[in-house]
Structure 1
């Protein structure tokens, strides 16, 4: 399997054999259900669709209910498609089969985590783009420490150029962090612990993939 869907629980620290404290993220990964298998003959590419998290049937569309019934499972909250999985997983991706975290990863693997970053609302250029501000208060500067500075030329163009880094909405972006090490797997709790931080708030959906 190329990946699994999970939910971010929070952060903790784990001690390495050398006594070093490693900041880690705890993720409840799976169990996921295979709700669709695509192949090159019918769909033009190889992919497997996984579903994770329970959802009330009254809040699910009739089309989605029928889709999940084909896999003989209850409605799920999160669905993700993993493309181009390796051929050795052909027997594992049968429709309706349950996928657990130990079926996908082992301790020591390096994986990628995809999530939605926390929303921070409207922010200025210092926080959003790491600007330093205009600087000191000489030459008539006043209350300009966090200002964006010059916007561009005045006479020619007479407008703010496209792509100018200014204040604006920050966060709620799809973020992918690569090469996070799997520190520990707890199969009984469906938990995986990875080194470093993972984008998103607590209880946010996270996609883990190789």
Structure 2
């Protein structure tokens, strides 16, 4: 299973080879760092906790700072800490995934043609009436009809003498978690860590987006990469020391 956190950028257009115009949404996805790996034996369920984004140290609670320090994602000298932390539940087939704290996931896990589900927070509309909230037609637009153009009409029968639960009425609209399924990955920009998804993504610009898809998730370890670089540098120094020094004849 693939999992990635990101933020919504903006909508644009992409032209295909056949000349079609595709409306796409740019998502700044990754890179995400694994903070904690939960197991069924210890925690009761299998999951991986990912962190994304940055914010100043003063805006992070002390318990959360300790959580990041324990996983070695940040050090005590760090001035910034991750902004978002989300968990990915592992299925039975993904329980054996090789991932450890500090490992990194980015857009390289996704390829063009993948179908993903995108979860975000919809734009808040505030308190709205039934016409905008539920699509009611309102009252008749004729002579003699006064102040009833956007009214809900009857909200119940006279007999029960109360309004039943679940009756559609005015109220707060938006600012809810919305998931759009089967969105196609049109383009993958690994250098900028940007995904181009066909269609509209829920939420406002710079809003947090959770992307899920089927397939193998590519994980890379920055610790191992740093260790390999140190080894290569050490080997290069040894090779230089072993090379004989040519002395010019006087």
Once the two structures are superposed, the pairs formed by residues 15-54 of structure 1 within 5 Å of their partners are 15-54=15-54
Question: Do residues 68 (structure 1) and 75 (structure 2) align?
Answer: no
Structure 2 CA distance for aligned equivalents of residues 71 and 99 of structure 1: 16
Higher helix share: 2
Q: CA deviation at 1:42?
A: 1.1
The residue aligned with 1:94 is 100
- Aligned-pair CA distance for 1:151: 1.5
Stretch of structure 1 that moved more, 114-123 or 57-66? 57-66
1:114-153 equivalence runs, <5 A: 114-137=119-142, 140-153=144-157
TM-score normalized by the length of structure 1: 0.92
For the residues of structure 2 that align with 1:65 and 1:164, how far apart are their CA atoms? 45
Once superposed, what is the RMSD of the aligned Cα atoms? Answer: 1.5
CA radius of gyration, larger in = 2
Gaps of 5+ in 1: none
Q: How many angstroms does 1:101 deviate by?
A: 1.3
Residues in 2 aligned to 1:48 and 1:12: alpha-carbon distance in whole angstroms = 33
Q: How many residues align?
A: 206
1:160 counterpart residue number: 163
Alpha-carbon contact 2:46-2:95 (below 8 Å) kept: no
Find out whether 1:80 has 2:86 as its counterpart. yes
What is the alpha-carbon distance in structure 1 between the residues aligned to residue 9 and residue 128 of structure 2?
Answer: 27
User: 2:175 matched to 1:169?
Assistant: no
Contact 2:73 2:101 in 1 (8 A): no
TM-score (norm 2): 0.78
Structure 1 distance, partners of 2:18, 2:86, is 38
Shift in Å, 1:88: 8.2
Displacement of 1:117 in angstroms is: 0.3
Aligned-partner Cα distance in 1 for 2:152–2:50: 45
